[in-house]
Amino acid sequence: MVEVSIISTEIIKPSSPTPDHLRTYKLSLLDQISSQKYYSFVHFYSGPCETSTLKAALSNTLTHYYPFAGRVHDDFSIVCDDTGATFIEAKVSGDVSDILKRPQNEVMEHLVPQQQSTTNHEILAVQLNRFNCGGVAISVGFRHVVADAVAAANFIKTWATLASATGADITENVVYDCTSIFPPQDISGVPINHMRSSQGITLKRFVFDCSNISALRQEFGNQTTRFQVLAALVWGAVISAKRATNHEYEPNAMSIATLPINLRKKADSDSVSAPIPDQCIGNIISPAIAFCPIKDTVDYKILAAKLQESISRISMESVKKTSADGSRLLRGRGTSKNNNQRSMLMISSLCRLPFYDTDFGWGKPVWVTIVRPEYDDSAVFFDTRDGKGIELWIQLPEQDMAVFEQDPTILAYASFNPSVSV
């Protein structure tokens, strides 16, 4: 186990003050029903870095992403008061290669900003970890209420670009008011369950290489995307595991797969509102939902078709209609599940996001990963460094994981936690 010692903690403020007329960032309904908790990404680099450069670039970046330097005010808004973001510098025993030999999420949890190091309503926190070898790991924690994974990836890339010697064009249209599209609502009486169990949950990493992904796509039909193929494979293995470990499921019990879909690229057919900018902050996502009976025999091609169909149903128009009164979205977040009637798996793809384009001036990262997902039953897909393979972090109850990792399809196509080459 590595030891992490905090060297310093300070607050980084935007390089220019936020104008008075921009001092309130309004939350849309999609922001309101997202989590209030932090999630973090860690970027590992084999070379050294200059702390002052990172801080100066972070300050400049916060000027453009000014809500990230503010504080959560209530269920409807962020106060953009330039309070700033926490910047922590830490010393880590050992080398970067020690972690990458066999990555363990439990170890990486020590490399991200801890709760006691940040304020209760803070939006953004950074931790710079220095290893004995001279390498570093830069972790960035975001409060989900104002940043989905797309916003997070774009923020980190912008920060890195401003820190690099080459410089860059300033990102435009970062802050976009989505309240006209997804009007906020009073959700104070609706319980939104984002809690993660602390007992009996395990998280493991698997890697699918390019050749296995290609073989699967040929088997499923090349019209199915890489993500849909692997999502179907994982969903099927989870269904089998649930059936094997829980013999009390009712005859009509269903497995539900939810897939967050980025709405930024979805066309608005009525053309009433301007397109949502690709790089804007916020939670511009809506879940595609697929259903399948929990049974012993799993047809992976049918699962892939169900996933593909559920994704195809998501459009800007459909989400706007659903969120018009908010009832269905709120019911989906607020109801508790009966374990004998259904099982829910959250499947997220962070592939094709620019995490590996984060060159702060000393080269691109040797590895990027997310720290422990928020949901007990969740699967997160991430690109490998070459962009050809895909990593899977999956979190399940221990008894389900024991069956999942022995599933023939997982054994045939995935490698369990291989080393990351530097």
Residues belonging to the active site: 144, 359
Give residue 84's region: left, alpha or beta (phi > 0; psi -120 to 50): left
SS3 for 292? Answer: strand
- Going by C-alpha positions, the residue among 392, 354, 357 that lies closest to residue 373 is 392
Please identify which residue in the block is written with the tokens 């453009």.
64
Query: Are the C-beta atoms of residues 311 and 228 closer than 8 Å to each other?
Result: yes
CA dist 307 and 309 (Å) reads: 5
Looking at residue 184, its amino acid is P
Q: How do beta strands 342-349 and 254-262 pair? A: parallel
Give the CA angle between residues 379, 43, 234 to the nearest 5°: 15
- Going by C-alpha positions, the residue among 419, 418, 366, 353 that lies closest to residue 44 is 366
CA dist 292 and 258 (Å) reads: 12
Q: How many CB atoms lie within 10 A of CB 97?
A: 17
Sign of CA dihedral 11, 16, 22, 28: negative
